[in-house]
Structure 1
Amino acid sequence: MKRRTVRKYFSLIFLLGLLVSPALETGATEPVYQREEVSQRLEELPCLIQPRHTSAVDGYIKGYVLRRKEKTEAMLGRMLTYFPLFEHFLRQHRLPEELKYLAIVESALNPTAVSSAGAAGLWQFMPETGRSYGLRINRYVDERLDPWRSTEAAMRHLAKQYDRFGSWELALAAYNSGAGRVHRAMRAARSRNFWRLMRYLPRETRNYVPAFIAATYLVHHFADHRLQPQLPPSDLQFPATVEVRGNLSLKEIAELLRLPYETMQLLNPAYKKGFIPQGSRPYTLTVPRRLLPALQHFLSTRRPDALPDYKAPAVFLLEEESSAPPYESVEYRWEEGDELLAFADALEVSPWHLRLWNGKGPSWAPQPGEKVRLLVPAEHPIVLAPRRQGLLVPAPLPTPPLQPLPLKNRSDSEGDFLFFFAEPGETTRILARKLGVDLDAFCRWNDLQPNQLLDAGRKVRVRAEALPRQAPFD
C-alpha cells in the first residue's frame, strides 16, 4: 500500500509539473496584463479626452500588448522617426501635442499604409480630402505618403474640425467619418456628448475615440507591459527634410550620397517612380541628417546656371566611402541638474530619442547617477565637449564634402558633360530646344532618335561647352 501511495504521489507531482511549467514559462516571456492595474493607470492617464475603461478600450489595449506584440514593438520604434515631425507641426498650429497619437490609430505609423477604402499615408487621407488641402496626387507623386506634407495637411484638418465642434471627441469622430455624419448624430441624440451620440455613428467611428484612448495609454505604459521598442536603423532616426524644385532622381542622389537606395525610398515614399518631377510648387526631399550638408552642396551646384561658364562637372560623390556605422551607442551617467528637454536640445535630438533609446515612456525622468544610453557619432564616440551651462554633449558628426567627379564620354574624351533629367511629355527635340543645343548633337551624345519621347526622369547628358552662356532656365 505504501509503494502504491508513493507511486501515486510522484505521478501527481509529475502531472502538475507538466501543467505548471508551461504556464510559468509563458508568464515569464509574455507581456503582463492586469485589468485592475490598467483601470488605475487609465484614471491617471494624461489624455486629450477623458479616458474611460470601456470594453472597446480594453480590446484595443489587449491587441497592442498581447495579440500583436511584435508589430506593436516595431511601431513604437517608428515613433523616433515621426513624433518629432508631428510635434513640430502641432506647435506650429498651436494644437495639443497629444494629437500625435492619432497617427497610431490611423496607420500604425506606417507612411505607406493604404486602407481598403483608398485612404493612404500616416494620416489616412482619402484622395478628395487630400487634394482639398493641396496634396498632389497623380501618376508620379502621392503626397498623402509624404510625411512632411501630409502631417501639415492633417494639422489643418484637425484644427478645422475642432473649430467646428469645440470638442476633441467630436473633432476626432469628424476626422474619421466626416462632419456631416457627426452633425446628424448630434441631431438624432439631441446631445453634443460623444458617449451619448456614438450609437448613431458608424461602427468604425464609435470605436475611434476608444482607439485613441488605447493608443495614448500604449505610449505612456508600454514598458509596464514588457514591450521593447524595435528601433529603426540610425539613418531613419535622424531624418532631415528640404524643399526642392524637382527634376531629381532619387537613385542618383542615393548613389552620390553613398546611401542605400532602399533607405532613400523609405524616407521618400511619395514618389511612385523614384523621380521628383518638376512642379509649380516645391516638393520635399528627406535624407539622413548627417548627409544634409552634402545634399545641400549638390543642390546648389546641379543647375547649369549655378555653374560658372558650364565648365564644372554636374556629378558629385562623397570623397570617401566607409563601411563603419555612422553612430555608436555610449552610456552617460546622469548628473544633478541635468534636464531631459535641455539635454535633448543640446544633442539636437528630440526627447523621444532619449526615451526610446532607453526603453522609457513620456513620464521618464532620469535620476542622478542613472546610466542613460545615447546614440552619438561614431567618429567621436566618447569625446564629449562642454556646451550650455556645463552640459556634456557629443561632438557633432562631420559630413564629408562632396568632391567633383568629371565624367568623360568614352567615344570623345574632350570636355565634360552636364546631366539633366527629362520631364513628363518631353521629346528629344523639345529638350534640345529647351537646353539650347543642336538636336543632332544631342541625339548623338545620348544615342537617341529625333522626336523620340523620353521617359520622365530619364538622365541625358550635354557637353558643357555646347550650352549657351545664358542659362536656358532663367
Structure 2
Amino acid sequence: MNIKNTALSFFLLASVHLFSQETVVNKDVVKVETKLSYLDSIKKTFIKDDLASCVDSLWMKELTNLDLYNNLSDDIKNINIDQIVDYELPTALLKERLAAMDAKSPFNIEYNQGLENIIKSFLKNRKKSFERLMGTSEYYFPLFEEALAKQNVPLEIKYLAIVESALNPKAVSKMGATGLWQFMYQTGKQYGLKIDSYVDERSDPLKASEAAAQYMTNMYKIFGDWDLVLASYNSGPGNVAKAIRRSGGQQNYWNIRKNLPKETQGYVPAFLATMYIYEYHKEHGIVPNRASVKHFATDTIVIKKQMTFKQISDLLDVPVAQLQVLNPSYKLNVIPFYHDENHYLRLPQEKIAVFASNEDQIYAFAQHELDFREKPFQVTKAIVVRDTMNYTTQRITIPKTKYYKVKRGDNLSEIADKYDVAVADIKKWNKLRSNSVSYGKTLKIITDQSIVRTVKKESKVEAVPSEPISESQRVVASEVKVNKEEELASNPERKDIEYVVQKGDNLGNIAHKFGASLADVKKWNNLSNHNIALGATLIVAKNEIVIATDNATSGSFKKKSNIAGISKKESVEYYVKKGDSLFSIAKKYPGVSISDIKKWNDIRGEGIKPGMKLKING
C-alpha cells in the first residue's frame, strides 16, 4: 500500500511540471483577429432574432418563374374549345359538379361542350402546372380575397389572376400589360396605380388587387352580369358592347361569344375551367406544391432612406430573389425615398424584427456606401500628411474611366452596384434614354482614383475646397499654391510626381494614366521587371514644372508640364485610338480641356472616330 501511494505521489509531482509547461506555451500563443469589414462590423452590433428562416429558396424561384405564364397564355390564346378532347371524365359527372358550383356562385356556370373540352384539355396537358399554381396561390389568394371582399366583389374573381398572369407579379404581355392583374399603362394610371422610373404599382399585389376590384365594381354597374364583366376585363367594355349589338341585344356570354375577339372567346371558359380544377383537384389526383411562406408570415416596414436590395440582402441575409418576390413593384431593385411619400419594404416577420431593432445601424451603412459614390465634377479636400523627410504628402481624388461589356442577365442596377455608382450616372455617361441595356454593349463607367503627390515643406500648402470645377481643372485642383506666381516663373522649381500603387494596378496602366512610357517608369524607379507591390510609391513623371495661381474671382488653376515634351508654343498631333473620348484625350495633356481640343480641331459635337488626327497645342 505504501509503495502504491509513493508511486502515485511521484506521478502527480511529475505531472505538475508538464502542466505548467503547457500553460506557458499556451500563453505564448498569439491570437490573430481578422479585420472586419464595415458591413461585418455593423452586423456584429445587430440585436438578432433566433427564429429560423421560413423561406425555401426553391419556392422563391418558383414564384419568379415565367414559363407558367407563357404556357398558359399561349393555351388560352390558341385553344380550340370546340375540339373534342379524349380524357376520362364522364359528361354526366361533370354536369353534376358544375351544377354544384353554380349553386354557390354568382357566375353562370352552365354545362356546354366548349367548357367540357377546355376542362379536359387542362386536365390532360396542364396537371403539373396547376400543382405549381396551387402552391403559389397559398401566398397570393389571401391578398386577393381581402381586396375583393372590401368592395363586395365575388371571391371567385381571384382565379382570374391565374388566367391573366399565372400568378407572376413580373409578367408582362406583348402589349405591355403588367403584373398579377395585367393592367395596361393607361388603365393603371386611371385606377390610381403609380408608375415612375423606380416604382410600378401594377406589380404590387396589394395595390393592383384593390385596383382590379374597383374595375370589376365599375364594370358590374354597367353590365350587371359577372360573366360580361370578365369579358370586358379582357377585351374592354367597348368590344363587349359591340358583341351585344351584333348578337341582336342578347346579354349572355355564351350567346355573344362568337362576336367577341378571338382571345376573349376562350377567356371566360378558361376562367371557369380553372375554378373547376381548383374545386375538384383532389378528385383528379392533383397534389398542390407546398408553399413555404404565406402572406401572413410577412410584414412591412417604412423605409426612411433610399436603399438597394443588395444592401438589404447583405445586412439581413435575405436573398435578393426573395426581396424581388416580396417587393415586385420596385423596378430597379431600389427602394426610393421621397419626402412627400412613403415606400414600404416587405420582409418575413422575423427579418422585420431585426430591421426594426437595428434601423440606425442599417441607415448608417446605406449612408456609408452613398458617401463613396462619385460626386459629379468634384474633388475631395486634399489630405496633407507631414513626414520626417522634409516633404509634405497630398492625396487627391480624380476620375478614372473604366469600360464594362454587358453580359447576359445584366441590368443597370446590378452594374451600378458592382462599381458603386448611380444608375442615373451610367445613363448620363452612355447617353441611355431608358433603363434597358442590350447584351454585348460596352458601357463607360467613371469611378474615383486616388493619387499621391509630394512637395517640399517650404511651400505653402492649402486644402482645396470641395466645389464643382471644370474638367480641365480636375487634375490640377489640389496643386500646391505658392506666394507669388512671378517668383516661380523666374526661378521654376521642377518636381517629380509620385503615385501609390492601388489594388488592381499594373505597371502598364500606371504609365498610361500619366502619359509616360513603360520603359521610363521602370528607369525612374530602378525596376528590373514589371512586378510592383501594393502600396509601393512610384515616380510617374520627372521634372514637372508646376505653376499654381490663386485666382480669387474664378478659382482657376494653371499648370505647365514637360511630361509630354511640349513647350508652351509647340503643338503635337494625336491619332485617336479605339475607346478614346475627348475627355480621356484631354486627361493625357495637363492643362488641356475638352473645349480646347474642340476649338483647335473645329469639332462641334462629341463624336470622334479611331484614326482621326487631332492637333494639341502646348
TM normalised by structure 1 equals 0.57
Equivalent residue for 2:133, pick from 62, 66, 75: 75
C-alpha deviation, 1:441, in angstroms: 8.4
The residue aligned with 1:40 is: 96
Residue 286 of structure 2 is matched in structure 1 by 227
Matches for 1:21-420 after TM superposition, within 5 Å: 33-45=89-101, 46-189=104-247, 190-234=249-293, 238-244=297-303, 247-279=306-338, 280-299=340-359, 314-315=364-365, 418-419=367-368
Shift in Å, 1:272: 2.7
8 Å CA contact 1:257–1:294 kept in 2: the answer is yes
Give the direction of change, closer, same or farther, for the CA distance of 1:116–1:429 in structure 2 (3 Å limit).
closer
In structure 2, do the counterparts of structure 1 residues 446 and 257 end up closer, same or farther at CA, with 3 Å as the change threshold? farther
Structure 1, unpaired ranges of 5+: 1-30, 304-313, 316-416, 433-437, 461-474
Residues 266-297 of structure 1 deviation map (CA, whole Å, 9 limit, x = unaligned): 22223232112234433342212332222334
| Matched position secondary structure for 1:285 | strand
C-alpha contact 2:300 2:346 (8 A) present in aligned 1: yes
Tell which has more relative contact order, 1 or 2 (C-alpha 8 A, sep 6+). 1
In 2, are the aligned partners of 1:428 and 1:454 still within 8 Å (CA)?
Answer: no
Amino acid of the residue matched to residue 255 of structure 1? D
Q: Deviations over 1:4-52 (max 9, x none)?
A: xxxxxxxxxxxxxxxxxxxxxxxxxxx9634332221111113330212
Quote the Cα distance in structure 1 between the aligned partners of 2:360 and 2:258. 57
Query: What do the CA deviations read for 1:188-233 (whole angstroms, capped 9, x no partner)?
Result: 2213332222222112222222222112112111111100111233
Supply the AA of the counterpart residue of 2:229: A
Choose 160-169 or 286-295, whichever is displaced more: 286-295
Aligned to 1:358: none
- After TM superposition, the structure 1 stretch with the greater mean CA deviation from structure 2, 54-63 or 144-153, is 54-63
Q: Cα RMSD between the aligned structures?
A: 3.5
In structure 2, the CA distance between the partners of 1:250 and 1:52, relative to structure 1 (3 Å rule), is same
Residue 97 of structure 1 aligns to which amino acid in structure 2? L
Whether the 8 Å CA contact 1:48–1:99 is kept in 2: the answer is no
8 A Cα contact 2:178 2:184, kept in partner: yes
In 2, Cα distance between equivalents of 1:107 and 1:253: 28
For residues 55 and 421 of structure 1, the distance between their equivalents in structure 2, rounded to whole angstroms, comes to 63
**SS state at 2:341 partner:** coil
The residue that corresponds to 1:428 in the other structure is 375
Question: What is the CA–CA distance in structure 1 between the aligned matches of 2:300 and 2:280, rounded to whole Å?
Answer: 31
| AA at the equivalent of 2:251 | R
Distance 1:272 1:206 in 2: 33
- Quick check: 134-143 or 190-199, which moved more? 134-143
Aligned residue pairs, count:
307
Q: 1:141 to 1:445 in 2, by over 3 A?
A: farther
Match of 1:164, SS state, is helix
More helix by share: 1
Residues 61/165 of structure 1: CA separation in 2 closer, same or farther (3 Å cut): same
Any conservation in 2 of the 1:51–1:213 contact (CA below 8 Å)?
A: yes
Tell me: CA distance 1:193–1:228, structure 2 relative to 1, closer, same or farther (3 Å).
same
Q: Relative to structure 1, is the Cα distance of residues 246 and 446 closer, same or farther in structure 2, using a 3 angstrom cutoff? A: farther
- Seen in structure 2, the aligned counterparts of structure 1 residues 277 and 421 have a Cα distance that, compared at 3 Å, is farther
Q: Give secondary structure in 2 for the equivalent of 1:287.
A: strand
Rg larger in structure: 2
Using the size of structure 2 for normalisation, the TM-score is 0.45
Quote the sequence identity (%). 34
